[in-house]
């Protein structure tokens, strides 16, 4: 992130605009929505700038730029058609430590003006770093249509009661829960409809009720984060991630998904690497209980689906024993994600009429599985956590009836830009020349459906899905 987003206090902020054409007019019009004091300097002034300059915020000077114009200002916009002059002003302003923006010349911009959705006091600013202005305008149009104009009423209402809520509810968590209940409920509806008196009555009653609770009851959400691509999160998963007070996550949760968690949530890593348990499962269970009993909304974020080799059942059994309220949010399991993005349908009328999931996790150097049931014709077998035990898996499947020529695929980091797929047969996969390039997390898919990979493979790693 080259351009760090900031909101500057514009109250009495001295700004300078050099230039007074239509381009400068757009910047002036934007600044007039703030509380800045603006000086405009240019030898020629267009009608739009002259009209806008009738505001008391604007001081207009029809003359060439002078270096002394930079005295006592803090923000400079340069919008002339003279490139040499623009560069000269940029150099002098930068030397003085001023914030300077040369319009339509990103390399000469110490800051850039974002695309703004103004619902004051709610303001949304977006930027593409100057690289994709058309895409930015497209996104702004979409958001403008989604965010109602009267959302500003909720912003003003929240500002008016913020201090009262803070003095009434001492706990940060209690205040957060209270405001979320207000914004998600009928109080917000009354505000946006202009029924302020009714909204205030309901607000006061809700605040009094919240003040009587000594501690907010915590809850745990077991949330499936899917196989890796953030676009595959469910709406409910995303909503809970953005409301969480504490997020307990594992190694299979991609950094891109973790970026979607609420910024001020406490993030607790309990990841498990191959054959190395960073945090024992019993300790994870206790962590969930601890944070919930402290009154937090806890999201246990798991790669894939919580109930498919995610030990979600063990965790909620412990929560039940401790009397902790919980919910489970399913996610796309790794097998479905890997199969789809590798062009390997897990079932196919000509190749597989059933699919079975198994764990390939080694214990005491053995894999204690029902091999006869896994080595069935016209069936797809998917092994989770099986990379270390790959030679044993191939050996046992052949031993129990599958042909050595049965196709097998290894899919690494499925659905992400790091996805890698190698294919072979049960006989040759343990000695595959590319095997050393595959690292966890990886999934093993065995069966005739793997033969469809080359024909159906549609996902190009490194490209957006």
Tell me which residues are annotated as active site: 250, 272
Residue 121: cis peptide before it, omega within 30 degrees of 0: yes
| 308 known ligand binder | yes
CB 406 within 8 A of CB 445: no
| 43 known ligand binder | yes
Task: For residues 4 and 22, give the distance between their C-alpha atoms in angstroms, rounded to a whole number.
Answer: 28
User: What tokens were used for 172?
Assistant: 């940060």
CB 196 within 8 A of CB 235: no
Which helix or strand (DSSP H or E) is residue 152 part of? helix 151-168
| 305 known ligand binder | yes
Per the DSSP assignment, residues forming a β-bridge with 78 are 18, 102
| 9 known ligand binder | no
Question: What does R_g of the chain's alpha carbons equal in angstroms?
Answer: 30
| 44 known ligand binder | yes
| 333 known ligand binder | yes
Give one word for 144, left, alpha or beta, with left for phi > 0 and alpha for psi -120 to 50: alpha
User: What tokens were used for 58?
Assistant: 């604007």
CB 371 within 8 A of CB 389: no
| 372 known ligand binder | no
The set of residues, in sequence order, having a beta carbon less than 8 Å from that of 353 and lying 6+ positions away, is 347, 378, 379
| 47 known ligand binder | no
For β-strands 272-273 and 407-412, DSSP reports them as unpaired
Task: For residues 8 and 103, give the distance between their C-alpha atoms in angstroms, rounded to a whole number.
Answer: 19
| 25 known ligand binder | no
| 23 known ligand binder | yes
CB pairs under 8 A, 24+ apart, for 456-462? 456/343, 456/344, 456/345, 457/342, 457/343, 457/421, 458/343, 459/341, 459/342, 459/343, 459/415, 459/419, 461/416, 461/417, 461/418, 461/419, 461/420, 462/417
Count CB atoms within 10 A of the CB of residue 413: 22
Residue whose pair of structure tokens reads 């030397």 in the numeric block: 95
> Exposed e or buried b for every residue in 283-313, given b needs 16+ CB within 10 A?
ebbebbbebbeebbbbbbbbbbbbbbbbbbe
| 386 known ligand binder | no
Residue 188, CA distances (Å) to 97, 148, 150, 172 in order: 44, 13, 11, 21
| 91 known ligand binder | no
Task: For residues 196 and 201, give the distance between their C-alpha atoms in angstroms, rounded to a whole number.
Answer: 9
| 330 known ligand binder | no
Residue set of the binding site: 22-23, 43-44, 227, 303-305, 308, 333-334, 385, 414
Annotated binding-site ranges for NAD(+): 22-23, 43-44
């Amino acid at each position: 992130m080259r351009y760090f987003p900031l909101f500057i206090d514009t109250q009495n902020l001295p700004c300078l605009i050099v230039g007074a054409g239509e381009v400068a007019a757009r910047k002036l019009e934007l600044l007039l929505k703030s509380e800045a004091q603006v000086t405009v300097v240019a030898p020629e002034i267009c009608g739009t700038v002259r009209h806008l300059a009738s505001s008391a915020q604007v001081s207009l000077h029809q003359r060439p730029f002078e270096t002394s114009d930079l005295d006592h200002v803090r923000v400079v916009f340069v919008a002339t058609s003279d490139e040499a002059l623009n560069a000269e002003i940029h150099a002098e302003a930068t030397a003085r430590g001023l914030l300077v923006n040369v319009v339509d010349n990103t390399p000469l911009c110490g800051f850039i003006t974002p695309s703004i959705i103004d619902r004051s006091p709610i303001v949304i600013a977006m930027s593409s770093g100057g690289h994709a202005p058309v895409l930015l305008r497209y996104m702004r149009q979409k958001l403008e249509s989604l965010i109602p104009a009267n959302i500003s009423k909720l912003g003003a209402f929240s500002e008016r009661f913020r201090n009262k809520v803070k003095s009434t509810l001492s706990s940060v968590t209690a205040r957060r829960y209270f405001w979320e209940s207000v914004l998600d409920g009928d109080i917000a509806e009354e505000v946006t409809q202009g029924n302020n008196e009714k909204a205030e009555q309901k607000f006061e009653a809700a605040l009094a009720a919240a003040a009587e609770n000594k501690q907010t009851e915590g809850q745990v959400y077991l949330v499936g984060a899917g196989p890796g691509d953030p676009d595959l999160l469910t709406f409910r998963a995303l909503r809970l991630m953005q409301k969480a007070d504490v997020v307990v996550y594992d190694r299979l949760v991609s950094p891109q998904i973790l970026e979607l968690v609420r910024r001020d949530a406490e993030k607790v890593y309990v990841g498990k690497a191959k054959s190395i348990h960073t945090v024992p499962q019993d300790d994870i269970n206790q962590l969930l209980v601890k944070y919930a009993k402290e009154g937090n909304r806890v999201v246990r974020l798991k790669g894939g689906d919580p109930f498919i080799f995610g030990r979600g059942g063990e965790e909620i059994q412990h929560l039940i024993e401790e009397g902790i309220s919980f919910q489970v949010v399913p996610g796309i399991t790794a097998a479905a994600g890997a199969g789809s993005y590798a062009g390997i349908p897990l079932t196919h009328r000509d190749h597989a009429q059933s699919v079975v999931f198994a764990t390939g996790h080694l214990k005491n150097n053995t894999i204690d599985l029902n091999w006869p049931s896994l080595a069935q014709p016209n069936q797809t077998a998917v092994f989770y956590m099986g990379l270390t035990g790959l030679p044993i898996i191939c050996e046992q499947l052949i031993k129990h009836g599958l042909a050595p020529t049965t196709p097998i695929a290894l899919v690494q980091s499925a659905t992400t830009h790091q996805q890698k797929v190698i294919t072979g047969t049960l006989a040759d996969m343990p000695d595959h020349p590319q095997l050393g390039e595959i690292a966890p997390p990886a999934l093993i898919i065995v069966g005739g459906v793997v033969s469809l990979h080359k024909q159906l493979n549609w996902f190009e790693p490194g490209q957006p899905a």
